[in-house]
């Protein structure tokens, strides 16, 4: 691995900067409190809701956006209860549903969404914020098959099961909905020894691409959250580089639920990118099919 200490502190923002302006904290255009960003009457499902980005970024942002209901999914029932209490303390009028599960367990995911159907009928937004990187260091080497498999179970199979159950509850093929997958820009690069984690995130990006094509009523986007100070942000990244606020990530996710973000469906973005700059480049992004998974090269017999 390269000597990261020689890189500038804003490297992980500027090196992947797609918009003229970039951010590492909340800014007005993504404020979930804006009336135009209201999600009143909507129900959001947040996975990984007991810790990390799910609990610190997504839950507070969607509370501010005024959702009707919040479904909290994670494996730790005690921490889920604590997150639910946070919701109730801020806004006791928001209906909540908590369900502890392993998202790679088919029957458990289906049972959780049975509860969603019983209480809410359907959900409008799915935030896939569960992650699978484990341990105290970069152990996810190709010689550790158990770690490879666990990452694929969560980011591949688990998120597929969540998306499938979420889509099945939509009342009709015309019902608008949003799926935001928390991914990583390093899924597009070879980063040993973290192959298991980043390859599994690439699967998650592909899921967003296919959902966008097969379900035109759904906005499905993969989002790189930046370096958010959670328990998953390891050294040396935590001490060497500027960190991104949970408010930035949560606010961007709420913004992605708006009709004005629909053109980004099937694409990959970073929370650091300025959303007004993205809108100003909408025609270019759509016309040139930018920000999508692709294979570069010149193909066809005529190019030989």
| pTM, to two decimals | 0.92
Q: By the 8 A CB rule, do 76 and 268 touch? A: no
Q: 210: which residues sit within 8 A by CB, 6+ positions away?
A: none
Q: What is the dihedral of CA 265, 266, 268, 270, to 10 degrees?
A: 20
pLDDT of res. 14 = 92
pLDDT given for residue 32 in this prediction: 98
pLDDT recorded at residue 64: 98
Mean pLDDT over each residue of the chain, to the nearest integer: 90
What's the pLDDT tens digit per position in 212-237? 999 999 999 999 998 887 777 666 76
Nearest-5° angle of CA 99, CA 180, CA 282? 165
Sorting pLDDT into bands at 50, 70 and 90, what band is 184? confident
User: Over the Cα atoms of the chain, what is R_g?
Assistant: 19
User: Which domains does the chain show, CATH number per domain?
Assistant: 4-288 (3.40.50.720)
Report pLDDT for 141. Answer: 45
Q: What are the C-alpha distances in Å from 66 to residues 38, 92, 100, 121, 245? A: 6, 11, 24, 18, 21
pLDDT value for 133: 47
Active site residues: 197, 201
| pLDDT, average across residues 295-301 | 84
């Amino acid at each position: 691995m390269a000597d990261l200490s020689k890189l500038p502190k804003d490297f992980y923002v500027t090196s992947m900067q797609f918009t003229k302006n970039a951010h590492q904290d909340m800014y007005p255009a993504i404020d979930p409190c804006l009336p135009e960003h209201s999600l009143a009457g909507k129900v959001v499902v947040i996975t990984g809701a007991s810790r990390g980005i799910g609990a610190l970024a997504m839950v507070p942002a969607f509370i501010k956006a005024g959702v009707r209901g919040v479904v909290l999914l994670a494996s730790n029932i005690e921490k889920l209860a604590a997150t639910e209490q946070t919701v109730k303390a801020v806004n006791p009028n928001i209906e909540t549903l908590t369900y502890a599960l392993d998202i790679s367990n088919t029957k458990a995911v289906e049972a959780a969404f049975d509860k969603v159907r019983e209480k809410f009928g359907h959900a409008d937004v799915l935030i896939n914020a569960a992650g699978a990187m484990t341990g105290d260091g970069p152990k996810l080497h190709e010689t550790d098959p158990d770690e490879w498999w666990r990452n694929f179970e969560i980011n591949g199979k688990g998120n597929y099961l969540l998306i499938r159950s979420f889509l099945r509850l939509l009342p009709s093929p015309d019902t608008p909905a949003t799926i935001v997958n928390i991914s990583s820009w390093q899924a597009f690069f070879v980063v040993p020894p973290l192959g298991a984690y980043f390859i599994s995130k690439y699967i998650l990006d592909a899921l967003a691409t296919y959902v966008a094509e097969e379900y035109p009523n759904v906005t499905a986007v993969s989002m790189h959250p930046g370096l958010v100070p959670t328990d998953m942000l390891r050294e040396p990244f935590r001490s060497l580089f500027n960190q991104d606020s949970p408010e930035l990530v949560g606010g961007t996710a709420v913004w992605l639920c708006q009709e004005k973000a629909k053109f980004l469906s099937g694409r990959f973005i970073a929370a650091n990118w300025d959303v007004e700059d993205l809108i100003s480049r909408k025609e270019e992004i759509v016309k040139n099919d930018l920000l999508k998974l692709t294979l570069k090269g010149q193909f066809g017999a005529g190019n030989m």
